[in-house]
Structure 1
Amino acid sequence: MSGATIAPALPAMQVHFADTPNAALLVKLALTILGIVIAVTAPLFGVLADRYGRRPVLLASLALYVVGGGSGLIAQSLGAVLLGRVVLGLAVAGTMTAAGALVNDLFSGAARGRFLSQQAAFNSFGGAVLLPLGGVLAAVGWRAPFALYLAAALLLPLLLRLPRGIPGDAPDPAAPAQAPRWGAITLVYALALGYMIVFYLMPAQGPFLLRALNANPGLTGLMLGSSTLMAAVTSLVFSRFAGRFDPRRLAGLGMLVVAVGWLLVFRAPGLGVVEAGLLVAGLGGGLIFPNLYAWLADLTPPAWRGRVTAGMSSAIFLGQFLSPLVLAAPAGHEAQGFAAGAALAAGMGVLLLILTAVFRRAEGLPQHA
């Protein structure tokens, strides 16, 4: 909910701050500045998580989340709203990085794959519930959606129960140093960035395409939410089979399924086929991130988990920022963006399947698993 929860409130916020110079631009910046802050600062939190431990970084970041997220309830100027969004971006960078490293500390093998799939499912379920709730609250007033961020305070007592001696809080100086496999890690980052560019077509250009097909705002929200729900269900079902298949191959197959979904959206003559395309894309999307994260975890030495996870956070949010720029489509021709997205997803899927076969041959693994 960190980024888009306040999106329905932006028009009313612009009216409220109409006397502020460049209000239209600054109000939109309140939504997009989050991704840039996260992409830039996540590596710093990765260093802190590896040096001082996951628990203190999580506690500090979650406290910042409550303060920065809820600041819009009392902000008296547009500048104050933007400052709160910057603080929220710092908080998200810290929580994503430290929590991701902690997952790798506490789980391994098939258990880690199951947990990552369940985590991806709850990410999607959270979006499906909280984002429409933000729209409901926006009807009350532009400040109301900011109250949702205060819910994060409920997690602080749970974090305080984490034992101080959990893995990652005190690196073992006697453990032999391992160097990360930066070539493969960079490939994972590139795939995550590329997938986010493709995925963000849905919230960035989907509403305009649906409006051109005469969908009202309520129907638009339901249709976009259905894709997120499909991704959640896919991730949850897949969690029961995690560890049985090569995560690289499954991520590649997920990319190809997303490509089919966006191709359906591109060719859709009406809303029914668009909905089918969104569901197919959600089906594929539910396979991608759990398997990319599982692959990344296999590549990461324990002492580097915070920093390597931070790089993944940067790639994801940089992809969100770049999506409207890389896959921009002229007004009235929004479907063209989905055609380009389908081509990009298909290219990444084919490349990943080929590379997986090469990797498995080099590792001496059977080709069918």
Structure 2
Amino acid sequence: MTLSDTKTPKFLAATIALTGVPASVGVMCLSPVLPAIEASYAGNPDMQILVKYISVGVGLGMILGAPIAGAVSDRVGRRLTLIIALLVFCLFGTAGLLVDYVPALIAMRMIVGAAASACLTVGVALMGELFSDARRDGLIGMNAMCSGIFGIVAILLSGQLGAISVKLPFVLHLLPLPLLLMTILFIPNVKPQARQAVATGQKLNREHWKMIFFSLLCGVVLFSMPVYIPFFMRDDGIANPVENSFVLVTMSVFAAIVASAYGPARARLTISNAFVASMIAFVLGCFGLLVAGSLAGFLGAAVFMGLSAAWIAPNLMSAASILAGQENRGRVVGLIKGANLSGSFVSVILIEPIYRAGGRDAAVGALLALAAFLIAFSLLSIRKIGSAPGGR
């Protein structure tokens, strides 16, 4: 099926552009209130140490959700997979309002993460199937921009709701409900590929595994900031959820604005060059965090973090579309996206011990070292993927 076969191509494109919203909302909606949630468990240290995983447990679910959803959608169809994923996201996300036991919350957030990554994986797979290369890159950028906008909305509302009750931000998991209606109305019910065709599809090769590894490390960089910036601010005496959300919104605004330019930029940049540009912005943001001692300082660092975040996810999805064959598109996209989204969980596993041992400076130093490694990896190991600007 191609775009020309659909009766409502504009509505189809708009629907696909919104498939990243659940992932953005799932990752961002609790970030401004994490310190407040942690403080609410002050009388229970065993639970308090687990609080960060309420937010980033989403990433653990994404590790499994994206590749499973990709493989399943190759067989049962993109539309049905997307509808089920959206229903699960809204149901298990809002259920956090009623649960206080931290391990149960983490388990529910893992289910939310699996559903969120399934939505995004199906969306990227549809982009590759229904749109040309140039239109696909533009739509990937629009997807990232829409995700950023909804992330901004989620952060703003989370800060305001969190000032009333630390449990109220869980209701923000209902934000993707309009996408469910759009999916029912506009996503074509494409017949799944025959099982034999899928089984004989392209196997994963060295380039796939390199990109999966690279995508995971990019996820650590990408998702570490929404988790740790509020704690860095608290260390400097800025512990108000509204001020936390203001800084995170600044980061998301710049990310959304620059993400919208990914399509035109990709026409002039290679995949490797776009990654290097993103990592350079991240390095500048890290240096800003090291010297930030006030709200204004954190806002300045957030600008560079937003510039960094803008192209990482779109560039990964462009690379995934280039590497995927028609027979295993959902699987390849799912594995690469799942690895990236799992960075929200892995970042805490890697950074939390460093942060607890050495504070903000040590944590930021570790992220700077990771960014330097990713720049070298971009230039040396993945330069042949999309080596022509805008091309394959």
| Structure 1 length-normalised TM | 0.84
Tell whether 2:231 aligns with 1:208: yes
Tell whether 2:376 aligns with 1:353: no
Correspondence 1:1-369 to 2 at 5 A: 1-7=25-31, 22-25=46-49, 27-75=51-99, 81-82=105-106, 84-162=108-186, 164-166=188-190, 169-170=192-193, 178-180=201-203, 182-217=205-240, 218-268=242-292, 272-327=296-351, 328-330=354-356, 333-355=359-381
What CA deviation, in whole Å up to 9, does each residue of 1:284-323 have, x standing for no partner? 3212221221111011001211111211232123322121
Counterpart AA for 1:291: N
Q: RMSD over aligned Cα, in angstroms?
A: 3.4
Match of 1:43, SS state, is: helix
Between the aligned residues of both structures, percent identity stands at 24
What's the CA shift for 1:51? 0.8
Counterpart AA for 2:312: I
Cα 1:319–1:48 shift into 2, 3 Å? same
> Which has the larger Rg?
1
**Range 297-306 or range 236-245, more displaced:** 236-245
**Range 243-252 or range 129-138, more displaced:** 243-252
Q: How many residue pairs end up in the alignment?
A: 363
What's the CA shift for 1:74? 4.3
Counterpart AA for 1:125: I
**Range 237-246 or range 224-233, more displaced:** 237-246
> Could you list the runs of 5+ residues in structure 2 that have no partner in the other structure?
1-24
Counterpart AA for 1:184: E
What's the CA shift for 1:6? 3.5
Counterpart AA for 2:310: G
2:32–2:245 CA contact under 8 A, matched in 1: no
> Could you list the runs of 5+ residues in structure 1 that have no partner in the other structure?
none
Aligned-partner Cα distance in 2 for 1:195–1:45? 21
Counterpart AA for 2:309: G
| Structure 2 length-normalised TM | 0.79
What's the CA shift for 1:138? 2.4
Aligned-partner Cα distance in 1 for 2:119–2:381? 32
Match of 2:29, SS state, is: helix
1:180–1:300 CA contact under 8 A, matched in 2: no
Match of 2:219, SS state, is: helix
What's the CA shift for 1:257? 2.4
Counterpart AA for 1:132: L
What's the CA shift for 1:223? 2.1
What's the CA shift for 1:346? 2.2
Aligned-partner Cα distance in 2 for 1:15–1:346? 35
Match of 2:26, SS state, is: coil
1:113–1:239 CA contact under 8 A, matched in 2: yes
Aligned-partner Cα distance in 2 for 1:64–1:347? 37
Counterpart AA for 1:264: G
What's the CA shift for 1:100? 2.2
